[in-house]
Amino acid sequence: MSLTEVGRGGAVGSILKNDPFDDVAEVSSLPASSLSVDKFDIVASYLNSTKEPQATILKSEAIKDHDAPRAAWFSSLGPNFLVPEILKPDITAPGEEILAAYSPIVSPTSSSQDKRRVKYNILSRTSISCPHAAGVAAYVKTFHPDWSASAIKSAIMTTGYDERKLRHITGANSPCPKASKKVLPRDLNYPSLTAMVSPSKSFNVAFHRIVTNVGFANSTYKATTFTNSEVKVVVEPEVLSFKSLHEKKSFVVSITEGQRVLPTDFLMASS
């Protein structure tokens, strides 16, 4: 039963049983609390066993979410089901419980019984993160007006997070040549590295990539890899030295495993 129907029945408030994956605040048409299944059962047991049940509403407490950043359950968790060797999502942005501009034409709950009108609302969904991502892209574009959308996306995908945070969570219009049908998705010059492998067989996967120098004219980059399993990661060449801007260099990332049984069908890495 919806909160609108509950209100029509004369209720002045409601306690809802929360879906285990739906840990997101929402605006309701009447005072309501959303509890996890176990906590809801405790409250229900108290109500059914007490003649005059009472409760106290305490002041809200702000806490720091140490799990952030992470992809919300309702967002694209990847990988791509049609092409598993393309890792998705490749870019994520804040989209949960965001104070956002809201149309005053409709109520904050979209209910016809709710007569309130507001200019701002607390909203959550993938579309709410789009302005954040668009803003970042526009910011990068101001520094590099000649960059294509693909170049901006690549820069965003390969910048910003350190090892701790990572552990915690083409512009051409010409048609694709016939030979492209023989190219594996993992051989696309994409910032992330993803391959489908068997969980019970050894494997040897190579990723071929080409990078463009957009930093200092004279610059050198050295590859650093880490792994906590029997998987071996080798980058060749290990060092890339550039002498000018927009100079291109190629490298190969080889990943092998031949002993341990993997717990997943997918091997994923971030460049």
Q: What is the pLDDT of residue 15?
A: 84
Rounded average pLDDT per 10-residue block, the chain, 271 residues: 72 77 75 84 92 86 76 71 76 86 88 86 87 92 92 86 58 53 76 83 90 91 84 92 93 80 42 40
Strand, coil or helix: 255: strand
Q: CA nearest 99: which of 124, 66, 63?
A: 124
- The residues, any chain, with a CB within 8 Å of residue 25's CB and separated by 6 or more, are 34, 97, 122, 124
The string over 51-67, giving b where at least 16 C-beta atoms fall within 10 Å of a residue's C-beta and e elsewhere, is eeeeeeeeeeeeeeeee
Task: State the pLDDT at residue 267.
Answer: 44
- Could you tell me which of 155, 147, 194, 193 has the C-alpha nearest to residue 171? 147
Model pLDDT, residue 167: 61
> CB 209: neighbour CB atoms within 10 A?
17
Query: pLDDT tens for residues 102-124?
Result: 999 989 887 777 889 999 998 88
Walk me through the domains of the chain, giving residue ranges and CATH numbers: 3-49 (no CATH), 70-161 (no CATH), 183-270 (2.60.40.2310)
Residue 250: CB atoms within 10 A of its CB come to: 12
Q: Look-up: residue for tokens 């950043």?
A: 69
Distance CA(270)–CA(184), nearest Å, equals 18
pLDDT value, residue 235: 94
Instruction: Give backbone dihedrals phi and psi of 52, rounded to 5 degrees, phi first.
Output: -130, 75
| Selection from 116, 71, 76 nearest residue 94 by Cα | 71
Residue 249 confidence (pLDDT): 94
Residue 208 is predicted with a pLDDT of: 92
